[in-house]
Structure 1
Amino acid sequence: MFGILGFSAAMGKRQKQQVTGRPSNSPRENSNEMPIDLLIDIFTRLPVEDVARCRCVSKLWSSILRRRDFTQLFLKISSTRPRILFTFLYNGRRIFYSTPQDLDPDRNNNSSPIIPYYQMHFPKGLASSDKVCPPILGLICNKSKKPLICNPSTGEYMSLPKARNENYEMSPFFGYDPIDKLFKVLCLSDDFVFQVSTLGTSGEEMTWRKVECPVRHLPLSAEICIDGVLYYLAKVMGNISTLPFMVVCFDFRLERFKFLDLVLITVSSALINYNGKLGVLSASSYRVDYNTEAIELRVLEDADEVKWSKTVYKFPYYWKDLAAKTYLHIVGMTTTGEIVLSTCYVHNPFYIFYYNTVKNSVVRVRIDFGIKPLRALNCSKISTFLNYVENVKLMD
């Protein structure tokens, strides 16, 4: 159901570690093998590309690296060292790169560019859409009529069956139910029919089931899944509300919709997880550029009574010079309270901006993907995601 892309030679951006295994004909007895707990502790310290190599050393190592306790421990440790994930289309292929999220806060604008780590790519022709869903526990779903779920850490992907046989465009949303520990996909067709499916349940074939939605709406680009609830911005269709926009909530466990009024958003708005609560970051201008004076944060303090708090962060005086001739989008907010912005398209130079809301300071970081020529990518949209975690669990 899925294909393994393998690891490209271009992946060698991070420091390689030489891993050698004992020959299978070694006279050493199994009783003298290194304890499994110690092996697991060592494996969790390795980069993902070395974990992949270790699977090929021996059957014992391969079985250990497939154990549930190891993959869960690796994921837990990975969550303490989140990464930024970049993905875009290049020559008909969707490519994934990542870099550590916690960059040097003292980095200055004249420092050398960061070279991100190449993760994987889809084979040519499999990813026609330029949009993807935010990653969840290391997995990511592309927004196309026939969605693909992939794991950039292992280089695997799996194709989902079409939600409908008719010739309708589909818009998938990716989510996770932490109670039942299930990944799910919600699909909306352009005739406003919702369907949902569950991934990987005991090897059973995926099936789609309809979900009733009482409010006709048009989803916008911003979305996030928090504690099993999918949130996305939408435009209200018809005259059912006095406000033109709203936040749609879909509970993946109950498979039910809920709708929240939102006073003001812009096309550049982003949804974030703000200490377990839904947050909305919006620019003071129609789009984010050097003319943007501030970013507004609204946090959903009470979902039942739909109460929002509001905080306004004003850019420092040098923002105009730092962001000159650059169109940006709001990526999100780190756990340390930094708002991250990124260039919208892949071109040279490509920048991400760290806005420290406590110090009221902005740091610009240049990213070099190492693709030549970049001229062909100048019109390619790029999706940038925070808090990406590496997941070494294979798609068995």
Structure 2
Amino acid sequence: MVNYLLRRRYVAPEISFDLMIEILSRLPAKSLMRFKCVSKLWCCLIRSRYFSNLFMVSLSQPRPLALYMSLYMSLDLVRHYMCDSMEMYELLSLRLMSSSSSAESSLEPDLTFPGMGGYRMVSLRGLILFTICRKACIYNPATRQSLTLPAFKSNLFAQQEPYKHVHYFFGHDPVLDQYKIVCSVMIASSFSEMLFSEFWVFLLEPGGFWKRTEYDAQAHLPTRQGLCINGVIYYLAFNHTRRYHVYCFDVRSEDIRVIQAPHAVPQFCTSFGFIEHGGKPAIFDYSRITETGVSELWVLEVDGGIWSRKSLVLKLCQKHLVDDIDHNKKLIVHGTGENNEVILALTCPCYLFYYDLMKNDVRKVNINRVTTPHVCINVLDKCESIMYLEI
């Protein structure tokens, strides 16, 4: 009876707010989305930028790289690159079905997100940026939240020149913790003569809007997806000289610098990728890999334009992997995975190649249950974000 009364009188000490935050930051994103319904305090906390950053650095076990594939559910490839409704797209999350150490692994669709995806997908800190109808859309796979940015009013769209190119880039400033979407607009004549370029920047925060930035350099056409490394967006483009250059956009100051690409990079060649290698922008030239098994890696060592070069030769026991590729098909770089593995796929992929640049090793990964010919593949980094998207 006495013990019963003592238990009735015992009151557990209240958990401090700081300890509660620490516990919540270690929970899975799926659980946190449910806990927003507990109280208004918890909802405000979980949606705050402070907590989303704490969650990103508090993951006890970093999750493996996620692979996403955007499917275009139509046979009209021209409309795919011009404008179409979001109902024509599906975003698939792929999961590895066997050990990565096996000679041939396989990927299989895990989750399907109807009405999501698009071409030119870019991932940054757990968020995916893609383009539909010249509009930028952002999607958070962890929270299932999507956001379409408003259209900007560029005078170049009213010009009579037939070719108008719109490219979006995604950047993050680690000092001010700001996300920015950068848009490059370029118009060209019927003879592919570049005429004008404009730059527009959107700050991803409540009340954000498009603003045009001052840019005095020559018009140029981006040819590859951008990379955001340490607060700088790097992307590859060519200008009136018809030579490739690397354009460096500082996310915080919004200044642009131009670095000439190595002269050895073939002019108008499409068989190379612009990747991140060891925390630095790099050009991976694989134009001769099917014929000779040789590829070249150019790494930008200093922002002043110093490039280091490394030649890679496929092992004889792995040469058959690329020998079987039909010459009518083209390999495309879709990013880098774990351990600096370059991910390559055919234009109509039924499998991927993972090329480990450190070990000079290639492995083949099959893709199961995907029959749509027009796809866009994107590698989502290890970060998982619960950032609340609002403008």
Superposition deviation, residue 169 in structure 1: 5.1
The separation in 2 between residues aligned to 1:172 and 1:292, in whole angstroms, is 35
- Among 52, 55, 59, which residue is 1:71 paired with? 52
Deviations 1:324-361, CA, capped at 9 Å, x for gaps: 23643223444523333234335xxx322222344433
Aligned to 1:232: 235
Root-mean-square deviation over aligned CA pairs = 3.4
| Structure (1/2) with the larger helix percentage | 2
Letter in 2 for 1:114: L
Separation in 1 of the partners of 2:249 and 2:30? Answer: 36
The residue type equivalent to 1:322 in the other structure is L
Counterpart residue number, 2:115: 122
TM-score (norm 2): 0.75
Asked whether 1:161 is paired with 2:150, we answer yes
Percent of pairs identical after alignment? Answer: 28
Deviation at 1:174, TM superposition (A): 1.7
Partner residue, 2:125: 137
Q: Which amino acid aligns with 1:321?
A: H
**Residue 301 (structure 2) aligns with:** 301
Which residue of the other structure, out of 101, 106, 110, is the alignment partner of 1:106?
101
Question: Which residue, 190, 199, 215 being the options, matches 1:195?
Answer: 199
Per-residue CA deviations over 1:196-253 (Å, capped at 9, x if unaligned) read: 223344x22413224314122111023211122111111221x4xxx62111122222
Counterpart Cα distance in 1 of 2:287 and 2:197: 34
> Matched residue of 1:164: which SS?
coil
Residue of structure 2 equivalent to 1:49: 30
Please say if residues 245 and 261 of structure 1, whose CA atoms lie closer than 8 Å, have aligned partners that are also in contact.
yes
Instruction: Tell me the amino acid that sits aligned with residue 257 of structure 1.
Output: I
Give the TM-score, by structure 1 length: 0.74
2:180 aligns with: 184
Q: Distance in 2 between matches of 1:294 and 1:102?
A: 30
Q: Which residue of 2 aligns with 1:312?
A: 311
Deviations 1:168-218 (A, max 9, x none): 6532222122222211122222333323223344x2241322431412211
Give the C-alpha shift of residue 367 in structure 1.
3.1
CA–CA distance in structure 2, aligned partners of residues 28 and 270 of structure 1 = 68
Greater Rg by CA: 2
1:395 aligned counterpart, secondary structure? coil
**Relative to total residues, which structure has the larger strand share, 1 or 2?**
2
Distance 1:293 1:394 in 2: 46
Say yes or no: does 1:381 pair with 2:379.
no
Deviation at 1:298, TM superposition (A): 0.8
Instruction: Write out per-residue CA displacement over residues 58-100 of structure 1, whole angstroms, 9 at most, x where no aligned residue.
Output: 5565455335454223212559434133231343344334457
Residue type of the alignment partner of 1:117: D
1:207 & 1:389 partners in 2: Cα distance? 27
Match of 1:142, SS? strand
Partner Cα separation in structure 2 for residue 283 and residue 68 of structure 1: 41
Q: CA deviation at 1:283?
A: 0.8
Which secondary structure state, in structure 2, belongs to the residue aligned with residue 215 of structure 1? coil
CA distance in 2, matches of 1:279, 1:183: 23
Q: Which position in structure 2 is the counterpart of 1:392?
A: 386
The Cα offsets for residues 348-396 of structure 1, whole Å up to 9 and x where unpaired, read as: xx3222223444332222233x5xxx44x12x12222252521012224
Structure 2: which 5+ residue stretches go unaligned?
1-7, 74-86, 159-163, 188-195
Distance in 1 between residues matched to 2:381 and 2:40, nearest whole Å: 33
Distance 1:73 1:119 in 2: 28
Query: SS of the residue aligned with 2:53?
Result: helix
Match of 1:276 in 2: 279
Instruction: Measure, in 2, the Cα distance between the counterparts of 1:345 and 1:33.
Output: 58
Which residue number in structure 2 is paired with residue 321 of structure 1? 320
Contact 2:178 2:203 in 1 (8 A): yes
Structure 1 residue matching 2:120: 3-state secondary structure? coil
Assess, with a 3 A threshold, how the Cα gap between structure 1 residues 292 and 169 changes in structure 2: closer, same or farther: same
SS in 1 for 2:63: coil
2:165 aligned with 1:149? no
Contact 2:235 2:246 in 1 (8 A): yes
Does residue 352 (structure 1) correspond to residue 348 (structure 2)? The answer is: no
Q: Which amino acid aligns with 2:63?
A: R
- Distance change (3 Å), C-alpha of 1:385 and 1:292: farther
- Report the CA distance between 1:106 and its aligned residue: 2.0
Structure 1, unaligned stretches of length 5 or more? 1-26
User: What amino acid maps onto 1:345 in structure 2?
Assistant: C
User: Is 1:255 matched up with 2:279?
Assistant: no
**Which residue is equivalent to 1:88?**
70
Distance in 1 separating the partners of 2:10 and 2:351: 55
Answering whether residue 334 of structure 2 is matched by residue 331 of structure 1, we say: yes
Separation in structure 1 between the aligned mates of residue 129 and residue 100 of structure 2, nearest angstrom: 31
- Structure 1 residues 121, 199: closer, same or farther in 2, change over 3 A? farther
Q: Aligned letter for 2:364?
A: R
Displacement of 1:309 in angstroms is 0.4
Question: Is the CA contact (8 Å cut-off) linking 1:236 and 1:245 kept in structure 2?
Answer: yes
